[in-house]
Structure 1
Amino acid sequence: MRRNLSVPERLGVLGIGVLSAATVWPAVTGATGVAAPCPLRWLTGVPCPGCGLTTGAVALVRGDVGGAFAANPVILGLAATAVLAVVLLTARATGALPPPVAWSDRWRRRTGWAAALLALASWAFQLNRLGVS
């Protein structure tokens, strides 16, 4: 039986995947020379809101919190959510917490707006960081 995950758990699982990939990414790029350029920046010269997340994740895995923040501060929130997800998933797996309750439409809309505002803030950060006017 498949169990539904809460929104924080889903984001946390994404964060766990990102941080896991960041541990092997430097070895892959070093061995193959393959990089993952931002398609929007490659096509238009304008960075996307997620630009710097790979660099930030690799820096964070290496323990360089300042470098991670400088690349894209969103990675710190994603990492914190990953830690929270591990705690939630463990607590739910052991029965210490009940299964998640579905969010109301109101909370789903609020979360959508918050995600959109976070993306806009990240985009403004990237445009400033990379000197795009």
Structure 2
Amino acid sequence: MSGAAGPEPAAGTGTFVGRGGAAVSAFAPLRRSPRTFALRFGAVAVASVAAAWVHQNHDPGALCPLRRVTGVPCPFCGSTTVFMEAGAGHWGAALAANPVTVVATLVFLAAPLLAFDPFGTLNRLPSRLRWFGGTVLVAGSWLWQLHRFGFLG
């Protein structure tokens, strides 16, 4: 059943059958764009330096509502810290705060240079694989945060 529901995996291959029966690679190439990379990198750099400056001059405390109310970190806790630490040049501390955010940011930044569309690729994967991968990623991130904040011995 191909067509309206979106691409479906072709049996035993790394390709998908798209609309009209055309084969589509799971890693569809895009045009390389150093300009897009530079704009993304510049935006992330400015945001990181700004977050580091705000944190240094006026510490807003925990921004996560779950952590602020209950003291328990969410799977995405540390994402702001990643950018604050990166903006201050503390790359190890940024990675320790939330490795998932660091990897996601690197993929976002590198995508234009690698001519890779991460969102398009995810959309072409089977729904079950997206849900399973997302669940594993969020659960792993949450375990990392619980360990980082001392909830897991």
Matched residue, 1:103: 123
CA RMSD of aligned residues (A): 3.4
The structure number with the bigger radius of gyration is 2
SS of match in other structure, 2:135 = helix
Partner of 1:84: 110
Does residue 37 (structure 1) correspond to residue 37 (structure 2)? The answer is: no
Q: How far, CA to CA, are the matches of 1:80 and 1:101 in structure 2?
A: 16
Which one-letter code corresponds to 1:103 in the other structure? N
1:65 aligns to what?
A: 91
Q: Residue type of the partner of 2:144?
A: F
Compared CA separation, residues 53 and 102, structure 1 to 2 (3 A) = closer
The count of corresponding residues between Structure 1 and Structure 2 is 113
Report if the CA contact (8 A) 1:50-1:122 is conserved.
yes
8 Å CA contact retained: 1:19, 1:61? yes
What is aligned with 1:5?
none
How much does 1:125 deviate?
A: 0.7
Return 5+ residue gaps in structure 1 as ranges.
1-8
Confirm or deny that 1:56 pairs with 2:82: yes
Equivalent-residue separation in structure 2 for 1:44 and 1:131 (angstroms): 14
Equivalent pair of 2:75/2:139 in contact (CA under 8 Å)? yes
Structure with greater strand percent: 2
More helix by share: 1
Which residue of structure 1 lines up, in the alignment, with residue 150 of structure 2?
A: 131
Instruction: State TM-score, norm by structure 1.
Output: 0.64
Q: Which has the higher contact order (CA 8 A, sep 6+)?
A: 1
2:55/2:84 contact within 8 Å kept: no
Q: Name the SS of the counterpart of 1:75 in structure 2.
A: helix
Q: Work out whether residues 68 and 75 of structure 1, in 8 Å CA contact, stay in contact via their aligned partners in 2.
A: no
Change (3 A) 1:115 1:30: same
Aligned identity (percent) is 33
> Would the aligned equivalents of 2:49 and 2:87 in 1 still touch at CA under 8 Å?
yes
1:117 aligns with 2:143: no
Shift of 1:53: 1.0
